[in-house]
Amino acid sequence: MKRREFIAMIVVGAIVRPRITQADQVKAIPRVGYVDGPTRSAGIQGLLKGLHELGYVDGQNIKLIEQHFAAPTVAGMRAAILAIIREVDVLVVGGTVGGVAAKSATSEVPVVFISVGAPVDIGLVKSLAEPGGNITGVSFEAAEETYAKRLQLLTEVVPDLSRVAILAAAGDPNVPFAMASLKRSAPGLGVSITPIEVKSADDLGRAFDEMTRTQMQAVLVISGFLTYTSIKQTCDLALANHLPSCHGFKEAVAAGGLISLGPDLVSLGRQSSRLVDKIIRGEHPAHIPVEQPDRYVMSINLKTARSLALIVPPALLARADELIE
């Protein structure tokens, strides 16, 4: 090799190597994508807070990719996931609808879900202890009896309760699990339950008209993406139709619902950030146990109770975690 050719080779190598190293460094920054509704949910807010608390800073040691979608359906969520799935190393989705959509969209990219009702029952994971695939996360229900407890709360606060409407979003994966729990518990509580489905938020008015026509005495709302994104409208209609309402989201009580029992969504998001951190550090979702809520919160809106001419029993008030005047 001639001396001039040898020197040229060294110069080219000196130029090329830094470029490769820099590209590798950029690629090494983990890319975490999350899909959420039209506005940022409480669960995603908790996720971002949790990642910050763990020392992650967007643009420095992590790349956050945000994707929104409008339709609160599996198909709508799946389309949003597919729009970013090739850009991310870890995908975070909210709710049961998000979990089901993610499972259908990818079997390779690690997925962390926030707030799935019954991940084993709906087939997202093989077991809570050993998920077995590319998906893990934090569940919304701590036990299958939770819906029975919500129904019991209505019987405690509504005198002589016998007819309860169950508001459910058509096609929501949470509904079969919730209805199975409610059907088991209703006879022992002395109430009959009537499921009333809605296909969209625009269908809520018709649903409450049906509750009034069939003389329902209260309504229990099955937790899901549609019922979360239409909380205010649902609570307004319940009050307008003089129907005590029970929810899984405490945000519903803040919006005028009567009572709720469920986890704090911000806390669930924080829990999920720890699972994202484990995946970034090399653990596989198949072996990261699904976590359950740290605790449940019972909230009661006393102003709503007065509007409905209901007297909340002292024992129930004593058990409540949050009272809204």
Angle at 40 between CA 258 and CA 260, to 5 degrees: 15
Report how many domains make up the chain.
Answer: 2
Domain-embedded: residue 4: no
Distances (CA, A) of 102 to 88, 182, 304: 13, 28, 38
Angle at 145 between CA 102 and CA 115, to 5 degrees: 25
Q: What is the CATH number of the domain that holds 110?
A: 3.40.50.2300
Domain range for 152 is: 146-263+297-324
Which comes out higher in pLDDT, residue 130 or 70? 130
Question: Do 320 and 277 share a domain, yes or no?
Answer: no
Least confident residue range of 34-43, 54-63, 110-119: 34-43
Question: Do 178 and 133 share a domain, yes or no?
Answer: no
DSSP assignments along 207-218, one per residue: HHHHHHHTT--E
* Stretch 103-124: mean pLDDT: 93
Between β-strands 259-263 and 296-301, what pairing exists: parallel, antiparallel or unpaired? antiparallel
Question: Do 134 and 158 share a domain, yes or no?
Answer: no
Question: Do 258 and 270 share a domain, yes or no?
Answer: no
Question: Do 183 and 279 share a domain, yes or no?
Answer: no
Tens-place pLDDT, residues 223-247: 988 898 899 999 999 999 999 999 9
Phi, psi of 193 (to 5 degrees): -120, 145
Question: Do 165 and 59 share a domain, yes or no?
Answer: no
CB 163 within 8 A of CB 190: no
Give me the percent of the chain exceeding a pLDDT of 70: 91
Phi, psi of 271 (to 5 degrees): -60, -45
Domain-embedded: residue 76: yes
* Stretch 255-262: mean pLDDT: 97
Three-state secondary structure readout of 254-319: HCCCCEEEEECHHHHHHHHHHHHHHHHCCCCHHHCCCECCCCEEEEEEHHHHHHCCCCCCHHHHHH
Answer yes or no: is pLDDT of 70 > 80: no
End-to-end CA distance of the chain: 87
Which comes out higher in pLDDT, residue 290 or 76? 290
Question: Do 229 and 271 share a domain, yes or no?
Answer: no
276 contact partners, CB below 8 Å, separation of at least 6: 32, 47, 51, 90, 92, 112
User: Which two three-digit tokens encode residue 251?
Assistant: 């945000």
Question: Do 67 and 157 share a domain, yes or no?
Answer: no
Distance between CA atoms of residues 48 and 318, nearest Å: 33
H or E stretch at 90:
strand 90-94
Question: Do 199 and 246 share a domain, yes or no?
Answer: yes
Answer yes or no: is pLDDT of 22 > 70: no
CB 87 within 8 A of CB 55: no
For residue 57, the one-letter residue type is V
Burial class (CB in 10 A: 0-12, 13-18, 19+), 27: exposed
CB 41 within 8 A of CB 265: yes
CB 163 within 8 A of CB 215: yes
Burial class (CB in 10 A: 0-12, 13-18, 19+), 120: middle
**pLDDT at res. 314:** 96
Answer yes or no: is pLDDT of 1 > 80: no
Domain-embedded: residue 3: no
Work out the pLDDT band at 16, boundaries 50, 70, 90: very low
In terms of DSSP H, where are the helices of the chain?
3-28, 42-53, 74-84, 95-105, 146-157, 174-189, 204-213, 225-229, 231-240, 250-254, 265-280, 302-307, 314-319
Domain-embedded: residue 188: yes
Answer yes or no: is pLDDT of 18 > 60: no
Distance between CA atoms of residues 64 and 45, nearest Å: 13
**pLDDT at res. 225:** 86
Question: Do 157 and 41 share a domain, yes or no?
Answer: no
Question: Do 193 and 309 share a domain, yes or no?
Answer: yes
Distance between CA atoms of residues 116 and 228, nearest Å: 13
Q: How much is the mean pLDDT over the chain?
A: 89
Domain-embedded: residue 1: no
Tens-place pLDDT, residues 267-304: 999 999 999 999 999 999 999 999 999 889 999 999 99
Answer yes or no: is pLDDT of 61 > 90: yes
Question: Do 79 and 181 share a domain, yes or no?
Answer: no
Work out the pLDDT band at 118, boundaries 50, 70, 90: confident
**pLDDT at res. 21:** 39
164 contact partners, CB below 8 Å, separation of at least 6: 151, 154, 186, 191, 192, 193, 194, 216, 217, 218, 219, 220
**pLDDT at res. 12:** 39
Domain-embedded: residue 309: yes
